[in-house]
Amino acid sequence: MRIRGGGHDYEGLSYVSKVPFVLLDMNNYRSIVVDAVEATAWVQSGATLGELYYRIAEKSTTLTFPGGVWYTVGVTGLISGGGYGHLRRKYGLAADNVIDARLIDANCRILDRQSMGEDLFWAIRGGGASSFGVILSWKLRLVYVPEKVTSFQVERLLEENGSEVLYRWQFIAPVLPRDVDLRVGAFPHWKNKPNPRIRTVLESGSRSNEGAKTVNIRFYGTFLGPRDELVAMMSESFPELGLKQENCLEVTYIQILLASSFFNPYGSPTELLGRSSYTIPFKAKSTFVEIPISRADLNGMWQLLLQTDPPTSNIRFTSYGGMMDEIPESAIPFPHRAGTLYMVYMRVSTDGDVAKSLRWIRNLYNYLIPYSNPFQTAYVNYNDLDLGVNNQYGRTSYEQASAWGKKYFKHNFDRLVAVKSMVDPDNFFRHEQSIPPL
């Protein structure tokens, strides 16, 4: 059985298979009930983040959910792997803010948190819910945001000291006040063209007569407060960035969410109700950095990035710290907490020479291994079959599944296997990277 929610499946495991399968499509099961007084919401499993954010904004301008930034991502897919967004340093992950759930198990029972027990409730919040059952709905804790928040962006080319500013970012971003989300995107860029505001690394563009390439390094994020306060704070904490008033936009949080999905921040929030998706194929990988990357190795990373053409690839850096440091590694299956400086996301279009694209991104992932931990970490929501797969037929051993499982979950993988063995010992819910029973 393959279970398809609203979206967020980089390897297509929720809707394709190499063996015969049944597709359970939750797409139309997407009711959302918001209680602004209690600051909670019940969300059915086929809803998208855009739908959730829109329904919350209908009830309150100062409540939201700390989920992801892209509007078509499915709520269930996001929570199942952890789920990070603008508010991770303030409120933690999406899965950290789930207070109940309804699930159908392998014995056809409909269970809530009380009847499923804390072990299974622990496992489905970040451990891949499709390994354990069919999620029907989630009860979410909503969080407070100010009436006015600030969005900001500063760009640097390599020739504008961009690499040195990123080197300093590694030390500063994780220790900034938790109201600040400061991330980085790096893109190959043609020197003789205007510095673009690249809407997406997958959009088309001319590749003739571009001249020499460089790297465009974009520092961007949000601040839960007014523009003046942010500029003063960054002038003191991170003067190398050179943040100025003109780099900032003071808006409401729903406008931040519109802009994050490449809509006009002054447009209608109804845009978030759409369900369009990209059709250009790509490959993505991720890893979590625990040791700052040296200046020399940053330069080596730029050389790798320059092997690709705009706009086919990008690298993104997501800072940690704040609440992410305070929640224990074992609180939910997502283990990348204290000690993690930031996550690196890498992506390349495969709409061309597929073998070349795959070699490039695999080389980049391997290049960053020394800065991760002994598990060579990865984020399960950017699922990656390069890390290892289960057997298509017959049982998969604990040792075989550990090859990919401990990269995603570290030591929490052992508890996930124990829960799976207890609630689904016959492995009814399975796919290429599902948790196996012992």
Q: Which residues are marked as active site?
A: 382
Strand-pair category, 134-141 with 213-223: unpaired
Residues written for the chain: 438
Q: Supply 41's token pair.
A: 């919401």
Backbone angles phi, psi at 322, to 5 degrees: 65, -135
CB atoms within 10 A of CB 423: 22
* CB contact set of 374 (below 8 Å; sequence gap of 6+): none
The helices-and-strands tally (H runs, E runs) of the chain is 13, 16
Q: Which helix (H) or strand (E) holds 24?
A: strand 23-25
The answer to whether 207 and 283 are in contact (CB under 8 A) is no
* CB contact set of 3 (below 8 Å; sequence gap of 6+): 14, 24, 26, 130, 134
Backbone angles phi, psi at 424, to 5 degrees: -145, 65
Backbone angles phi, psi at 2, to 5 degrees: -110, 135
